[in-house]
Structure 1
Amino acid sequence: MKRLIYIFSALFVAVNATAQVGINTTDPQQTLDVGGSSATVRVDGLNSTNNPTNLGTGLTTRVYVDANGDLVLDDDGKVGLQLLVDSENYLEDAETPDSRINQVGTAFGYETAGNPTDFAASTFTLTKNAIVEINYSVSWSIYKTRTPAADNRIQDGEARIIQTGVYFRRVTDPTDPYAGPAITYELDDPTGTPINGGPWCINMNSSGTTCLETGGLLALNGQFYTNSDQDDGAYRNFKNTGSDYVRLGPGTYVALFVGRVYVGNVASVGAIKAYLGSDNDELQIVAHYYE
């Protein structure tokens, strides 16, 4: 069999009689055969400088073959994995009225609590339908009065459940969370299905009897708390963790938190207070784009 071999510097390019081309090999086995156990291939048109679909560390990029046989990233953006939010301290470290949730006995709803440390950096934009993955660890503290202080530790020994969750809000102005038209909370996914069987009450009146706002709640989780010691009982540095998935359509969003405190006997120490975000709060949001 005749074989033509071309040598360029230290690079060996071989073309055999069947028009198979070999690079670093004199015996190509396919139409293009790159030899060498550590051989790599670079396509400059697919790198992050030349191709906006390649987002570097923010995206797990995969190379696809389109209908024309061309190599493309993320099937022209139709499929892929994108890290949208990765925060090690998502909520402001504060024990203020904005981060406070009231004890509601066995009432039905939740309360919004906690503000993002950097609202603009907390927003994210989906360019098309995606399955959104949420993972969080949110801190909380708890007291028997509205004044956050160590000497206000609960001591009644009643078992409480501190529950937390996440909801998504449409953002009209990423630089100003309070600007624009009426706030819109996501209630349904792109197919019209209520998120997590909702709608859920995300904001109640002070007595816990009337729902003021609803949203689609995700990653609901809770932790038991009880304490009967005024001096040594823990009152802060607690964490709730949660994970969930939801389908969302194109748009700009921000993830926000809710919480509630359940207790069977509300008469024990009265209306105690809990605060979300009093310590570091981790949040990770990942988009899984699909056709």
Structure 2
Amino acid sequence: MTKLYFIPIFVLLNFSLRAQVSGVGVGTTNPQQKLHLASPTGTIRIDGLNSPNNPYNGGGIDKTYPLYVNENGDLTLTMSTFQNSDGTDAITSSTPLSGTTLTMLAGSSPIGTRNTVILPYTITVNRDAVLEVKYNISFQVLKDAATKIKDDRPRLITTFYTLDTPTLLATTPRYGQASKCYYNNNDLAASTANASDMAMYNCSTTYITLTPGTHTLRFYGELKTGTTSMATVVNFAIGNDSVFMRLY
């Protein structure tokens, strides 16, 4: 005798629909995502990211390392940066320089302040983002192109950058400001042989928010001598300068 078994079609359809919508659950029969790990103490282990298999995992007990997602959605320990000079000189004659020298003549106008764009950077993002900016910019302070300062009057040298502002105004936001004051106490009649004229550095780390679109960062150098313009030349980018940028 032949026996026939009937399975309602709607049961099969309902099972298939739940499997597609609910996803896969570990420790739960009601997954809320495509992959749902419900254990309160559980974690996910990927052998390809451990220290024996991945050079970016430094190993060590109780040590952790940042995990990133690349453009394909793959999990990776490799950190990518928008800009990283990585020990090489970031500001040289081959970079898109705008100006590396500030010159102030004694008694000239405007009184006591000069600034110049040292280096512009353009960056494009397609989402709201946070940009980390680290820089290290060198400079040298002289009286003129070939003479060291010995007038015992201080000069303030500041570096900073602006965001999407072609013209620097008094109200323009300045990010990553760093300053040093150059002062030489030689007697006016003394030799300048012992007056330092080697590279000094301004360094800074900041975080700024970016909206979708193209943005321009402009690194500035600024010289101030107070309420009197004093003869000064500031040469920027004379040493090993560095720029590091990373998007979050």
TM-score normalised by the chain length of structure 1 = 0.49
- Distance across 2 between alignment mates of 1:238 and 1:89: 15
> Which residue type is aligned with residue 217 of structure 1?
R
- Distance across 1 between alignment mates of 2:112 and 2:153: 19
Over residues 236-262 of structure 1, what are the superposed CA-to-partner deviations in whole Å (9 max), with x where a residue is unaligned? 311011121211112334433212222
Q: Which residue, out of 158, 161, 172, partners 2:156?
A: 161
- Distance across 2 between alignment mates of 1:167 and 1:155: 33
SS at match of 2:178: strand
> Which residue type is aligned with residue 99 of structure 2?
D
Contact 2:112 2:227 in 1 (8 A): no
SS at match of 2:133: strand
SS at match of 2:46: coil
Contact 1:110 1:258 in 2 (8 A): no
The percent identity for this pair of structures is 18
- Distance across 1 between alignment mates of 2:114 and 2:247: 26
- Distance across 2 between alignment mates of 1:223 and 1:281: 16
Structure 1 counterpart of 2:247: 287
- Distance across 1 between alignment mates of 2:241 and 2:214: 22
- Point out where structure 1 has 5 or more consecutive residues left out of the alignment: 1-18, 21-29, 32-38, 44-58, 64-70, 75-80, 117-121, 170-184, 187-198, 202-210
Structure 2 counterpart of 1:176: none
Contact 1:93 1:279 in 2 (8 A): no
Change (3 A) 1:137 1:105: farther
Structure 2 counterpart of 1:111: 115
1:60, CA displacement in angstroms? 5.4
- Distance across 2 between alignment mates of 1:107 and 1:82: 45
Q: Which has the larger radius of gyration?
A: 2
Change (3 A) 1:107 1:220: farther
Over residues 187-207 of structure 1, what are the superposed CA-to-partner deviations in whole Å (9 max), with x where a residue is unaligned? xxxxxxxxxxxx952xxxxxx
Q: Does 1:61 align with 2:65?
A: no
Structure 2 counterpart of 1:248: 210
TM-score normalised by the chain length of structure 2 = 0.57
Change (3 A) 1:277 1:247: same
Structure 2 counterpart of 1:89: 89
Over residues 70-96 of structure 1, what are the superposed CA-to-partner deviations in whole Å (9 max), with x where a residue is unaligned? x9558xxxxxx85211123221269x9
Structure-to-structure mapping, 1:24-63, within 5 angstroms = 40-41=46-47, 61-62=68-69
